[in-house]
Amino acid sequence: MHLLTKAISAIALAGASFAAAAAPVTLTFEGSANTAYDSPILRSGFLLGNPAGQEQHFHEVDSQLLGPVGNGTGVLVNDRDTQIFVKRSDGGIFSGLSVDVGSSGSLNLGSNLGMDIEAFLGLTSVGLLHVDFDTITPLQTISLLGLGSFDRLVFDGIRGGFTLDNLSLDDARNAVPLPSSLALAGLGLGVLGSFGRRRKA
């Protein structure tokens, strides 16, 4: 009976480890008609802001202000020729699922030739996506799955600002089961099998 108790405990611990992995989140930007920020903002455990050394300025706006690139909801707009970073507030690793991107429309400063989306792990670039658009291209959904896991995601407009919305991110622990969880589950199942064999004998 003692072995059975250990097995149940091991499986419960494994389940708790799986449950600890946070569910994917989708960041939307439904603030007031036009809210300007001069420092990073925190949303659902993620920080968004301009990298150090760049002008600290971006907006959460009603996308009707953007003309044809709007999507009918609130969006995040960088109307400067700067970057916007996204990282977990605890500095941990995460992955990307998808994001809606476009130009900054009527708030444009620059020629809006598109954007680069680059993923970093530490100081090393681990993936890069390029997206083309112009001042009238509607928001388009871009898959981030090919970027893998990272600790910082950087959106960089090319000669102009850009718009972000529906940024779907996932705790990297969700992509692959934790090794410790698998080991605990294996131990629990092994003990259960042993217990079953003893009872038959």
What are the tokens at 63?
Answer: 């996308």
Residue-wise pLDDT for 4-56, tens only, equals 444 445 444 444 444 445 689 999 998 778 899 999 999 999 999 999 999 99
Round to whole Å and give the CA distance between 75 and 80.
15
The pLDDT value recorded for residue 178 is: 43
- Determine the angle formed by the axes of helices 179-200 and 2-20, rounding to 10 degrees: 160
CB contact burial 137-164 (16+ within 10 A = b; e otherwise): bebeeeebeebebbbbbbbbbbebbbbb
* The total number of residues written for the chain in this structure: 201
Measure the CA dihedral 178/180/184/186, to 10°: 70
Fold classification of 23-174 (topology level)? Jelly Rolls (2.60.120)
The pLDDT value recorded for residue 119 is: 98
The pLDDT value recorded for residue 80 is: 86
Q: Is the pLDDT of residue 75 over 80?
A: yes
Q: Which amino acid is at 181?
A: S
Residue-wise pLDDT for 164-174, tens only, equals 999 999 987 65
Residue-wise pLDDT for 51-72, tens only, equals 999 999 999 999 888 877 788 8
